[in-house]
Structure 1
Amino acid sequence: MAIETILLAVGPNDADRAQKLAETLVDLAVPTGANVVLAHVFTSSEYQTTLESLDVNDHGELTEDEIARRHATIRDIGRSLDDADVEYDVRGRVGEHGSSIVATAEDVDADFVLVGGRRRSPTGKAVFGSTAQEVILNAPCPVTFVRGD
């Protein structure tokens, strides 16, 4: 299977994994020449918090994609992609994390999805977190779970 489009989905807890996610993405995108889509998924409350932290007063003119572009995690990953000469598009989506990532993968016709996660205790390793599990079980393509250090 050829990889033409890779979706990297990030959320509010991925800031500490941004470098690892970017490195994994570059390792996949450069040899395949794949199109890259960076997606930031916000719950409604996370979106409102982000608007406040970005000091956006009149967000009626801004799209979810633009808010995602302004988010620090997307900017950090974007700089790594720029350094590796990997072109990318940014998408923002408001909704539940897992279902929104799956819907975005379907929307962009992703051939591959990357999602981040945290280390788990030995007991927790038996089951992924609910977001990762939902994406792995429902995505229309293979999913790689990138664990943070």
Structure 2
Amino acid sequence: MTIVVAVDESSHASRVVEEANALANAFDDSLHVVYVLSRSDFVDMEETNVSETGDAMDLDRVREIAASVAEDAITDANATAESVGLVGDASSEVTRYADDIGARYIVVGGRKRSPVGKAVFGSVTQSILLNSRQPVVAIRKD
């Protein structure tokens, strides 16, 4: 089976990958590290590319760019994993990807937020916890 770990661009990402890697090793599972580029970031990249080159940016290239963020977290954690780049709403894309590959677990990072902060700003971790079909392991930031 596979364990999916969702990362962001924070310094906490490598610790989340380290913990997910330990879990993957315990189950002798493969590890997929996923970074989701938001639609707004994609639009910004597209606008920049069009203004600089006059051409639209290939979606596969955008996914490669997103996968490079995942690859950085893998390298920082000194883990062996597949890097995956996706585009869209982070929680929806992570849960869909985990469903598509039949993941055993989803591992996510989290940080302490007040209930008001979660309601106002949203929480990818909270959304994954509530909407995932797989068990979710949340690694809190120290």
TM-score tier by shorter-chain length is 0.7 to 0.9
Aligned to 2:127: 134
Is the counterpart of residue 108 in structure 1 residue 101 in structure 2?
yes
Aligned-residue RMSD, C-alpha:
2.9
Q: 1:38 aligns with which of 14, 33, 38?
A: 33
Conserved in 2, the CA contact under 8 Å of 1:17 and 1:116?
A: yes
Provide the C-alpha distance between the structure 1 equivalents of 2:118 and 2:83, rounded to a whole number of angstroms: 33
Shift of 1:106: 0.8
The gaps in structure 2 that reach 5 residues or longer are none
Structure 1 stretches of 4+ moved >4 Å: 48-52, 123-127
Which one has the bigger helix percentage?
Answer: 2
Aligned to 2:17: 22
The gaps in structure 1 that reach 5 residues or longer are none
Aligned to 1:10: 7
Secondary structure of the residue aligned to 1:16 is coil
Conserved in 2, the CA contact under 8 Å of 1:64 and 1:91?
A: no
Query: Given residue 85 of structure 2, which amino acid in structure 1 is its aligned partner?
Result: G
Q: How many residue pairs are counted as aligned between the two chains?
A: 135
Conserved in 1, the CA contact under 8 Å of 2:17 and 2:33?
A: no
Aligned to 1:96: 89
